[in-house]
A and B are shown apart, each in its own frame.
Chain A
Amino acid sequence: MKPLRSRGQGVEHRVQWNLRSSLQKLAAYGPLLAGFALSAEATPNANPDLTDPLWMVGIKAFLVIFGLLTAFAYMTLIERRLLARIQIRQGPNRVGPDGLLQPLADAIKSIFKEDLVVSRADKVVFVLAPMISVTFAVLTFGLIPFGPKDAFFGYDPWVINLDVGLLYVFAVSEIAIYGIFLAGWASNSKYSLLGSLRSSASLISYELALGISLLAPVLLVGSLNLREIVEWQHQNGWLILYMLPAFAIFLLTSMAEAARTPFDLPEAEQELVGGYNTEYSSIKWALFQMAEYIHLITAAALIPTIFLGGWRMPGFMEQIPLIGGLFALPYLWMFIKIALFLFFFIWVRGTLFRLRYDQLMVFSWGRLFPLALAWFLLAALVVAFKWPMAVLGWLSLLSLVVFSAYVVLTAQPKPRGLPRMGAGD
């Protein structure tokens, strides 16, 4: 039942209220303040990016940020408990029932700890760096659609609906790198500087493979808008079926972008006493952690949106009469998929160990990047010659077979350079 309200077509809205339309744009794009304000003159009325009234957008933006921060707090607990389970330990279970209040205790602790600012640091940039990290981490999540139109109490379940959606994701995540970069430089410490140079170099390298891996799906769908990508998948089947290599590369590179375990050089405690955030303490350090987890949650929401049908349930389940109606809730599937990927990330962290720096770079430039490029060229061929999309499905299957054969047939890597230990030695 749709509540009565005026949206776009109402009489009030036809009045060219410049301030309002410009404010809508300000809310939508955050950092691009002045320029968006300009557009009040250019397009006085229609703003296709914001489908809801401004106050609603504000509420949703607040909800997204609040939700992300809560999710961050409890992700730390869930991660520690799950890791403990993987390693046959107990994990934090003292504060509150089953340790449920642990995030609260952590928050209080990190706020009331002494906040050190290194005396010879560049003070302004030192304070600015964690703020840049968190701000640009939060900005992406508003793009992700959580359900059909009007599913959020009669309003749309997304904050902004950008036609350049994926490009915006890239732009924001590129700027987010500056947080790490500036933190290391402003600390005026060699460990921090080396750590930040190293981790920003790796982040930039993986950004490249990430961008190219997404070119192929965008080419097939013909849109950068996340909503249109979800709709396309509803009509043609999930993109993972056509784009398995792209999915694999995107999954790996998103883990690298969020600095997760096989790629978590930013946290290399053994080598650089913590890397770029060595000199940071208390809440500023927590802000970096926050940014990292928010990147992780955003990645866990972006991957299913692009490759796994977004907020829709699996296609075959819609055919089943009873379940199809029962589970057709708008938010349920998105949350299930996000949780699935978050669990996957934690599982990987519990299983794999950290790569060395040169291994990390070779994996990005030598493996992922050419692979992404080759798959993009294949997909471009299929699209250009208008071959049926099933070709891409078969190619995906073939790539899976080839990859499995490669893993099975190649021997276990021997340790290089170390003297071989024979059985009798």
Chain B
Amino acid sequence: MSVGFWEILALLLLVGTGLAVVRLQNAVHAALALIANFLVVAGVYVALEARFVAMIQIIVYAGAIVVLFLFVIMLLSAASANVGQDLLPRLPWVAGLGAAGLAAVLVYALTRFQPPANAPALGGGLPQALGPLLYDPEKWLYALLVVGFLLLVATVAAVVLIEPERIISATSHPAHPRQDQKPTPPMTEQKDGKAVVKR
């Protein structure tokens, strides 16, 4: 594997944006740096002829997940995203050790990596080539199903955890209750700190 100008540029951009995510003191700025990081990663995927993965990287990570981060930042900390402190010195040394270990493992894997001789042609990483591979029962179908099921379970668990005691109906406006039904009872007390909906 030859290392040229573009590889070094990609490396610098990746590391730079990654550091910015950790070092920036404003949470929204850090989220922006995270978007930039994901875009660069997507570009690297395209360069490796994995276009489907690249687009999914943008749609899922740079699109959906960072939007979720931003929603949380803006709604929870009441729009004051400035943390006001550098978080990096506060990281425990264990985290640094872990990062160093991961880097060592990656470098080791990189030096030892041999591409399989009979790697299937993936046709530029397009879904037409990826789909049959993923959904073939002899290849990856069951792994895919297991991962999907795991995500579903996690989603259901998250919904159950944050479920308020009163079911909020989006169709009937609290200011104008329906004529044909009883007015909704007042919101029950938050008993043992289980209900998470506040304010």
Which residues of chain B are within 8 angstroms of A163 by Cβ–Cβ distance? 51, 124, 126
B30 CB-CB contact with A under 8 Å: no
* Partner of B10 from A25, A34, A366, A416 at Cβ < 8 Å: A34
Within 8 A of A (CB), among B28-47: 28-29, 32, 35, 39-47
* Whole-angstrom CA separation of A31 from B40 in the bound complex: 9
* Partner of B170 from A29, A122, A182, A358 at Cβ < 8 Å: A358
| Smallest Cβ-Cβ distance to A207: which chain B residue | B63
* Partner of A39 from B49, B59, B71 at Cβ < 8 Å: B49
| Smallest Cβ-Cβ distance to A171: which chain B residue | B58
* Partner of B67 from A25, A32, A200, A222 at Cβ < 8 Å: A200
| Smallest Cβ-Cβ distance to A193: which chain B residue | B79
User: 16 extra interchain contacts, Cβ-Cβ under 8 A, other than A32-B42, A200-B67?
Assistant: A32-B40, A36-B46, A37-B47, A38-B47, A39-B46, A42-B47, A171-B55, A174-B62, A174-B63, A174-B64, A175-B63, A185-B70, A201-B71, A224-B126, A224-B127, A417-B176
| Smallest Cβ-Cβ distance to A201: which chain B residue | B71
How many of A's residues come within 8 Å of B, CB to CB? 50
| Smallest Cβ-Cβ distance to B26: which chain A residue | A122
B152 CB-CB contact with A under 8 Å: no
Which residues of chain A are within 8 angstroms of B44 by Cβ–Cβ distance? 34-35, 38
User: A223–B74 contact, CB under 8 A?
Assistant: no
Seen from chain B, the residues whose Cβ lies within 8 Å of a Cβ on chain A are 2, 4-7, 9-10, 13, 26, 28-29, 32, 35, 39-49, 51-52, 54-56, 58-59, 62-64, 67, 70-71, 74-75, 79, 81, 124, 126-128, 170-173, 175-179
Within 8 A of B (CB), among A397-425: 416-418, 420
User: A182–B9 contact, CB under 8 A?
Assistant: no
Beyond A37-B47, A197-B75, is A31–B6 a contact (Cβ under 8 Å)?
Answer: no
* Whole-angstrom CA separation of A404 from B43 in the bound complex: 47
* Whole-angstrom CA separation of A185 from B28 in the bound complex: 9
* Whole-angstrom CA separation of A41 from B6 in the bound complex: 9
* Whole-angstrom CA separation of A386 from B173 in the bound complex: 46
* Whole-angstrom CA separation of A168 from B55 in the bound complex: 6
User: B67–A181 contact, CB under 8 A?
Assistant: yes
Which residues of chain B are within 8 angstroms of A32 by Cβ–Cβ distance? 39-40, 42-43, 46, 54
Which residues of chain A are within 8 angstroms of B127 by Cβ–Cβ distance? 164, 224
A335 CB-CB contact with B under 8 Å: no
A362 CB-CB contact with B under 8 Å: yes
Beyond A174-B63, A175-B58, A418-B176, is A36–B47 a contact (Cβ under 8 Å)?
Answer: yes
User: A164–B45 contact, CB under 8 A?
Assistant: no
User: A34–B40 contact, CB under 8 A?
Assistant: yes
The 3 closest A-B pairs by CB, nearest first: A35-B43, A417-B176, A174-B63
A101 CB-CB contact with B under 8 Å: no
| Smallest Cβ-Cβ distance to A218: which chain B residue | B127
A125 CB-CB contact with B under 8 Å: yes
| Smallest Cβ-Cβ distance to A361: which chain B residue | B170
Which residues of chain A are within 8 angstroms of B171 by Cβ–Cβ distance? 358, 362
User: A197–B47 contact, CB under 8 A?
Assistant: no
* Whole-angstrom CA separation of A260 from B193 in the bound complex: 42
User: B43–A33 contact, CB under 8 A?
Assistant: yes
Which residues of chain A are within 8 angstroms of B58 by Cβ–Cβ distance? 171, 174-175
Which residues of chain B are within 8 angstroms of A33 by Cβ–Cβ distance? 43
* Whole-angstrom CA separation of A137 from B176 in the bound complex: 39
* Whole-angstrom CA separation of A171 from B62 in the bound complex: 9
* Whole-angstrom CA separation of A25 from B9 in the bound complex: 15
28 A/B residue pairs, CB under 8 Å, sorted by A: A36-B43, A36-B47, A37-B10, A37-B43, A38-B43, A38-B44, A38-B47, A39-B49, A40-B6, A41-B7, A42-B47, A48-B124, A122-B26, A125-B29, A125-B32, A167-B56, A170-B55, A171-B58, A174-B59, A174-B62, A175-B63, A177-B63, A178-B67, A201-B71, A204-B67, A223-B128, A362-B171, A417-B178
